[in-house]
Structure 1
Amino acid sequence: MRFIIPSSKNKRYLSGCDWVISALDFMMKETTSAGNMSQVVIVMASAISPSELQKHLGRFISEFPVVNGSIGRDINICPYWKMPGKTEGKLNFTSHTCPDEGDLWAVLSTCANEPFKDDREHLAFHHVNTKSQKSCLAMSFDHRLLDARGAESFLGLFQQYLESNSGPAVSSGVALSGPAHLSEWMKKFLAGRNVNRKIIALSEHPLAALPVPDGKKKEFGYRLIRFDQQETQTIYENAYRTAGYLMESPYLLSVIMQAVDGLFEKRKAEQGSYLAAVSVDMRTSEDIKQELFFNHVSYLFFQAHRGIVNNRKELVHSIKMQMYDQIKSGVPRDIMEASHLTRIAPLSFFKKIIDGPLKGKIATFIFSHVSKNPLAPELMGAKIEDVFHMPRVPVPPGLGFFSNNFNGRLNLVISYLEGLMGDDEVDVLEKELTDRMLGRDK
């Protein structure tokens, strides 16, 4: 008989995926300037009042005490998210004015690297007005609290709150409980065996990865590549011809692998295979309303030997076959089940897992693509022009690519640990990505 321990009102048991994210947060706090966090940025066509924005955000956040939670461990050894009865502390809100629009990216980058004040703070809001009367709202979020689509949906819920004039509780219908997953142990151990075999198979070939620079408290650099609607259409047409219908993610991943290969070639790095760790979110819009907080993504791994990387058709075919094989053999399910076993260990233990067969290398780079956006066209009367993400990716590898689609336009953000690449290398990487996306590399 299956036995599930229910969560109490102020306690939400953490899943295996949540615990892995928490372990990455622990590792990043040990090696970089802040934890496993990200930032979603909304760019608006006109200025908005910072005081009004702060007031509305404060009232909205007060509906969700979960945002002030912290990690505890139950008597049954299962870790959980402890939620206070009401929100605590002052809203972390800053306002900036950029006299020169060229300074905007530097301000946003600084905000993305700003650590939270303590272990009960998991959200920070940054408002920026520019001289050209444009404005931005940047929400920094702790990945232990929200994943990427959850963060976008949280801001979408804020828009609904504004439209309702602070009407019915927006928190109604948002699930804040979860099972302890303390049953079906044989299933979890078998899944762990399968995951271990997968890791060993991936480690059979030397893994190409940029050396992580020495020193702690390093920040992340970012580079945003924006494509207009016509360019985006060209990219999707290229993806359709090369990879097939609704296969833009394998196509984008192949382009990134080729661009990264160009970087390794210029460095004359040792031969090895490339390994991309890809997060996949299959939830519908309704699912996300139920699963707004915490982590609900799946993971796939794609390996490519340098011998096939320069052949786009062969590379895309390999990526698609690996995707089909992993889904068919249940790799995402096995990772989810096996990750429940890691919760018995302290957060520091996860590094020992990484230092095993993969010898301290998780992947060559991280990739994530968000194709759907839940936001309404306006925020506080200002038209939304663009939305993009600025993630602090796990270290190692310290290199990540995050793409999203907003209003028919594709954005691609390069995220990299300070010292991992020089500015000239990031310039080359940006040009390689742009040219290959648009088919100019032929």
Structure 2
Amino acid sequence: MSQVVFELQGKADAIKTESTLSAFIKNYPVLNGYTKRDFNLAPYWKIPTRKKEKISFETINITDSLKNGASFDDVLTSLEKGINRPFKNRKEHVAFCLITKGEKSYLAMTFDHLVFDARNAETFLDIFQEDFKGKKYDGSLNLKEPAHLSMWMEKFKAGQRVNRAFLKMADKIPPRVLPLSSGRKGFKFKILTFSKKESEAIAENAFSQAGYLMLMPYALSASVSAMHEIFAGRGDSGNYVIPVSIDTRKKEEVRRQFFFSNTSFFIFKVEAGLAARFPELLNSVKEQMYSQVKADLPGDICRASLLMRIAPPSILGSLLKIYLKGQIASFSFSYVGETAYESPYFMDNKIINMFHMPRVPVPPGIGIFFQKSKENLNVILSHLDGMLTDEESKKILSLLKSRLGVE
């Protein structure tokens, strides 16, 4: 479950926004689908013939207090309530919220990862914007895909290679983790937005220290370095294991298939002793990335996961826990390439920024998300409520900013 948020200039028209979105979404009944299994146990996405009448749309108006004035923290609190609110039923996969504060508006779309990944959600809203401006989507929308229940030997061999990769990664002791909290209030977020100048400086630092097109390993290494300060302060032992989701598809590729999830996965192991030695840490991350790309581990993970199609999804998590001694990861990391949203406007309002607020799988219950919105690089820290104090969250982003070279 995640949320994409548009920060907009001016006050957006709530009635017009709700009615326009509702009319557009009626054209995509796939958004009201749900999973079922065929007679041969193959899962499929059942699309209802009856279209949903009304979308979930909430409006919130934040007024300035007489003393201090409303800050972004007030907006963030409202956004957190939206991302932590469950969908009404198994057929609801998107919900909207429009927040107005002064001369700004924030339009948030909460979405289920069953129907979108981050860039697919951006593409869907970009197509909505084109529709709003009178341009109809002319791409082919293919929702049919085989169950992939053939070529079993290829999938088993992929599973063996993934198996060997996990065995190589497993230590005699579990990976270093933070204790899970009850998460009574759901997930908490911190958002760090870099200016155009700062974003360009980070890209230049990544080029000079990591090489051409190496922003992802550079950002991951900086995140490990920042998180290490918090982990070390808690006195935990063990090395770091970080699952990484990445989406660097070209925009035209996203347009051809913007439903369901199309991200790639890596998994990195970092020795705790390297976390404070950035050049060595960066080299280790790059070497692991090269090795996994060469061995096509992301492809093997995808192919091996198809073995689970006729088994309960919980089995995969159980297998991971066996390899990693009961703990899946230290924290998760996501890197999304250039935004797939093309227009500088959302409906009639100019976009100031666009960022994502993803809920992190539990465990590990904590993660860092890098995402580019036009000229601005955004960093989002997501964690289960209670895992970090507010001071620790702020410290992570402060350390990360320093490590990226833009203090």
User: What TM-score does the superposition give when structure 1 sets the normalisation length?
Assistant: 0.87
1:31-65 CA deviation, whole Å, 9 max, x = no partner? xxxxxx00000000111100000010001101100
Counterpart residue number, 1:429: 396
Using the TM superposition, give the Cα deviation of residue 361 of structure 1 relative to its aligned residue in structure 2, in angstroms.
1.9
1:146-177 CA deviation, whole Å, 9 max, x = no partner? 0111011111111111011xx64x38512211
- In structure 2, distance between residues paired with 1:309 and 1:199: 21
Q: Is residue 285 of structure 2 the alignment partner of residue 319 of structure 1?
A: yes
Contact 1:278 1:299 (C-alpha < 8 Å) held by counterparts? yes
Change (3 A) 1:263 1:216: closer
- In structure 2, distance between residues paired with 1:89 and 1:99: 32
Q: Is residue 150 of structure 2 the alignment partner of residue 183 of structure 1?
A: yes
- In structure 2, distance between residues paired with 1:70 and 1:190: 31
Contact 2:97 2:107 (C-alpha < 8 Å) held by counterparts? yes
- In structure 2, distance between residues paired with 1:269 and 1:224: 26
| 2:17 maps to amino acid | L
Using the TM superposition, give the Cα deviation of residue 211 of structure 1 relative to its aligned residue in structure 2, in angstroms.
1.3
Contact 1:360 1:396 (C-alpha < 8 Å) held by counterparts? no
- In structure 1, distance between residues paired with 2:392 and 2:339: 31
Counterpart residue number, 1:121: 92
1:350-384 CA deviation, whole Å, 9 max, x = no partner? 34223312133221111112221122001122110
Counterpart residue number, 1:111: 82
- In structure 1, distance between residues paired with 2:11 and 2:183: 38
- In structure 2, distance between residues paired with 1:172 and 1:257: 40
| 1:283 maps to amino acid | R
Using the TM superposition, give the Cα deviation of residue 216 of structure 1 relative to its aligned residue in structure 2, in angstroms.
6.4
The within-5 A match list for 1:34-433 is 37-100=1-64, 101-102=70-71, 103-131=74-102, 133-164=103-134, 168=136, 170=137, 173-204=140-171, 206=173, 207-213=175-181, 215=182, 218-270=185-237, 272-375=238-341, 376-433=343-400
Which runs of 5 or more structure 1 residues have no equivalent in the other structure? 1-36
Change (3 A) 1:352 1:174: same
- In structure 2, distance between residues paired with 1:364 and 1:171: 43
1:391-427 CA deviation, whole Å, 9 max, x = no partner? 0010000011111112211110000001111112112
Secondary structure at the aligned position of 2:146 is classed as: coil
Which runs of 5 or more structure 2 residues have no equivalent in the other structure? 65-69
Using the TM superposition, give the Cα deviation of residue 283 of structure 1 relative to its aligned residue in structure 2, in angstroms.
2.1
Contact 1:68 1:121 (C-alpha < 8 Å) held by counterparts? yes
Moved over 3 A (4+): 215-218
- In structure 1, distance between residues paired with 2:185 and 2:365: 11
Change (3 A) 1:113 1:274: same
Secondary structure at the aligned position of 1:361 is classed as: coil
Using the TM superposition, give the Cα deviation of residue 436 of structure 1 relative to its aligned residue in structure 2, in angstroms.
1.4
Contact 1:175 1:292 (C-alpha < 8 Å) held by counterparts? no
Using the TM superposition, give the Cα deviation of residue 205 of structure 1 relative to its aligned residue in structure 2, in angstroms.
5.2
Contact 1:205 1:273 (C-alpha < 8 Å) held by counterparts? no
- In structure 2, distance between residues paired with 1:218 and 1:127: 21
| 2:98 maps to amino acid | H
Using the TM superposition, give the Cα deviation of residue 217 of structure 1 relative to its aligned residue in structure 2, in angstroms.
5.0
Identity of aligned residues (%): 39
- In structure 1, distance between residues paired with 2:326 and 2:120: 29
| 1:79 maps to amino acid | P
Contact 2:245 2:263 (C-alpha < 8 Å) held by counterparts? yes
Secondary structure at the aligned position of 1:85 is classed as: coil
Contact 1:61 1:87 (C-alpha < 8 Å) held by counterparts? no
User: What TM-score does the superposition give when structure 2 sets the normalisation length?
Assistant: 0.94
Change (3 A) 1:223 1:119: same
Secondary structure at the aligned position of 2:358 is classed as: coil
